[in-house]
Amino acid sequence: MRYFISPSKGRLTLDEAFGDIMAYVHDVPNAEYKLIIGTDSQVGDDTCFVSAIIIHRVGRGARYYYAREHEVTSRGLRQRIFYEASKSLELASQVAHKLSENGYSDMNIEIHLDVGENGKTKELIRDIVGMITGTGFAARIKPDSFGASKVADKHTR
């Protein structure tokens, strides 16, 4: 079973993290919310993948939860970026299912990708964004993809 870490609540299952997200939304029900999912990786002796779920109360703060996984398999940059995106897609699908079960199917999910116009990943943007938007989720790239490039990245080290 995969666990998520909340900086304020500690180790949680996905169901517990989702329950905390719903409690956060119910605290201020009329606020605008963004639900963001992003994954980043760091290559070392193994590859550390971190997927983050962020519930952003627009203009009023946010909460986040992250899960860390290590893999010994080495991948090239292209394969690693696609794998990050697929991990985010899988998590977004699980969260979307939970949202629809709880009457929040209208809450949009953004997937934040660790690709941008500058650097080695610029050739991948069209393919990766197409993969995400083709499944019905919104995609954000750097510099607007803080879910991957800031939150998830912070916990890959």
Per residue in 110-157, pLDDT (tens digit) is: 999 999 999 899 999 999 999 999 999 999 999 999 999 999 989 997
CATH 2.170.120: does it fit domain 4-154? no
Residues 6+ apart with CB under 8 A from 80: 41, 43, 47
- Domain positions in the chain: 4-154
pLDDT at 48: 95
Return the amino acid letter for 29: P
Cα distance between residue 54 and residue 77, in whole Å = 25
Quick check: 23 and 6 in contact, CB under 8 A?
A: no
In angstroms, the CA 64 to CA 58 distance is 14
Angle at 82 (CA atoms; ends 76, 86), nearest 5 degrees: 140
pLDDT one-digit tens code per residue, 21-65:
999 999 999 999 999 999 999 998 899 999 999 999 999 999 999
List pLDDT tens digits, range 59-91: 999 999 999 999 987 789 999 999 999 999 999
